[in-house]
């Protein structure tokens, strides 16, 4: 394997996590950090900061897609799921089979016809859903693809605090090159060949993070949070299994590890939304002043649709869906959960 210093790594997306990833990569080589906004690029070039993070000297911001793809062989797309397909389409003409893409986006894409919207309570099958890995394969000629997932709160990574992640790919080469690129004394990288499991685990935990934020906002204790995390993990496993995921990924770093982190920290955007909902703020107002996308909001709707299609018992998803989309009060949702008749513990095993 070539020395990492010979590579120029690429990061697509200059959000908080994309910037944190770029700073880690910059410890091992040069980095091009792509943003679609010329004003953001100019600001990074002059101020050498982004999203409250100081940019490593090895990072060069850019808006030039052809030059970016020409210089970078190993690329990390970290953009919101709602715009992920569009971004891949923009890059598709410049990406080649020799490129390796490892995305860090924890979201799903629903297949809809032009001008079609998902209706409340609409069942959703696996055939209607694309993961970000699948979008890369659908929209580009790139074959060696992976995903990056784990308890990776961007602010803590930016502060240099210890963290771990998982790179999942069908290709050992992708895992090895990703691990080499991200090697750091403070950032542990594990590997997995279960791309589907790792990807769905990272996506579904956002639903439980919103619910956990609500519990904290209500001032409820650790007993309630522990109950939510354990029962929420079960719902994640059942939904993931219906979508074709292996259950084992949900019990690793990308599953329960990420679940604990995002259900316990105000640094999580999904947790923060739940917390603010519990304090009486309205969802449109919360989202209007969030600096970055909250992936869990859309995932709640998709998880509800999947549960309907596959007849899965997911009371936490149901309660959260009714709160977010059907004006059910938080008090009513909590009463629903406490009165729900669970037959046995760990019913997902």
**Please, what sign has the CA dihedral across residues 310, 311, 313, 316?**
positive
Contacts of 165 (CB under 8 A, 6+ apart): 148, 149, 150, 151, 152, 182, 187, 188, 189, 190, 253, 254
Q: Which among 224, 245, 254 is positioned nearest to 316, based on CA atoms?
A: 224
Q: Is the distance from CB of 300 to CB of 189 less than 8 angstroms?
A: no
Across the beta sheet with 8-12, the strand order is 59-62, 30-34, 8-12, 74-77, 100-103, 144-149, 163-169, 187-192
Rounded CA-CA distance 15/257 in Å is 22
Active site residue 205: yes
8 Å CB contact between 264 and 212: yes
- Single out the catalytic residue among 205, 238, 301, 304: 205
Active site residues per annotation: 205
């Amino acid at each position: 394997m070539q020395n990492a210093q010979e590579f120029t790594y690429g990061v697509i997306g200059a959000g908080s996590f994309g910037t944190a990833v770029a700073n880690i990569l910059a410890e091992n080589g040069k980095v091009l950090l792509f943003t679609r906004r010329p004003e953001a690029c100019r600001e990074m070039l002059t101020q050498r900061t982004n999203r409250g993070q100081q940019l490593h000297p090895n990072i060069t911001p850019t808006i030039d897609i052809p030059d970016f793809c020409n210089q970078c062989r190993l690329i990390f797309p970290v953009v919101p799921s709602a715009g992920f397909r569009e971004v891949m389409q923009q890059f598709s003409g410049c990406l080649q089979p020799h490129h390796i893409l490892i995305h860090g986006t924890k979201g799903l894409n629903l297949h809809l016809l032009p001008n079609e919207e998902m209706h409340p309570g609409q069942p959703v099958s696996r055939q209607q859903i694309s993961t970000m890995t699948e979008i890369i394969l659908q929209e580009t000629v790139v074959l060696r693809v992976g995903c990056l997932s784990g308890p990776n709160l961007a602010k803590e990574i930016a502060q240099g605090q210890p963290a771990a992640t998982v790179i999942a790919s069908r290709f050992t080469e992708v895992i090895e090159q990703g691990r080499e690129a991200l090697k750091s004394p403070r950032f542990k990288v594990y590997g997995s060949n279960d791309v589907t499991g790792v990807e769905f685990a990272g996506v579904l935990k956002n639903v439980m993070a919103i619910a956990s934020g609500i519990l904290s906002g209500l001032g409820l204790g650790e007993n309630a949070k522990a109950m939510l995390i354990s029962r929420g993990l079960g719902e994640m496993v059942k939904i993931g299994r219906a979508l074709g995921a292996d259950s084992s990924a949900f019990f690793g770093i990308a599953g329960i590890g990420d679940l604990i982190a995002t259900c316990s920290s105000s640094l999580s955007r999904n947790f923060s939304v739940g917390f603010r909902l519990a304090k009486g703020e309205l969802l449109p107002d919360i989202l209007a002043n969030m600096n970055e996308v909250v992936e869990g909001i859309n995932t709640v709707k998709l998880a509800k649709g999947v549960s309907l299609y596959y007849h899965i018992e997911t009371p936490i998803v149901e309660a959260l869906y009714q709160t977010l989309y059907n004006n059910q009060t938080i008090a009513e949702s909590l009463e629903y959960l406490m009165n729900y008749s669970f037959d046995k513990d760990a019913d997902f095993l």
